[in-house]
Amino acid sequence: MRGAQPTITARTRKLRRNATEAETKLWLALRDRRLGGFKFVRQSAIGPYIVDFVCRDRKLVVEVDGGQHADNAADRTRDIALASEGYRVMRFWNTDVLSNMDGVLDSLISALRDHP
């Protein structure tokens, strides 16, 4: 978030404090390089967008979504914008994170290792 606008910085801090249960659970698995030694940050700004998690070294964005994101046009636009910056976006449903954490982590580690 270096150089981020004050309004974005305030919003990212608020999002960190008000994380969903699924976001908190995933963060505990990603923080401190716990997943394969890859560094993730949470609620981070990329341009005008705030992403749930990002591994900047591998340009991988991870979004944890609830039902309100099903077939969301704004999410598609955002994903296209992030892709234009070289980021890959992986989306997981809250229920997947809460009930199938091993599957989510396996998908993430495969994506991180397969893309230099």
Q: What is the pLDDT of residues 18-74, one digit of tens each?
A: 788 999 999 999 999 999 999 999 999 999 999 999 999 999 999 998 866 556 788
**According to the 3-state scheme, what is the secondary structure of 42-59?**
EEEEECCEEEEEEECCCC
> Residue 91's closest CA among 71, 64, 55, 59?
64
pLDDT band at 109 (very low <50, low <70, confident <90, very high): very high
Locate 31 and state its tokens.
């923080």
How many angstroms separate the CA atoms of 66 and 69, rounded? 6
- Which of 73 and 104 is assigned the larger pLDDT? 104
pTM here?
Answer: 0.84
pLDDT at 12 over 70: no
How many angstroms separate the CA atoms of 78 and 80, rounded? 5
pLDDT band at 11 (very low <50, low <70, confident <90, very high): low
Fold entry, domain 6-114: Endonuclease; Chain A (3.40.960)
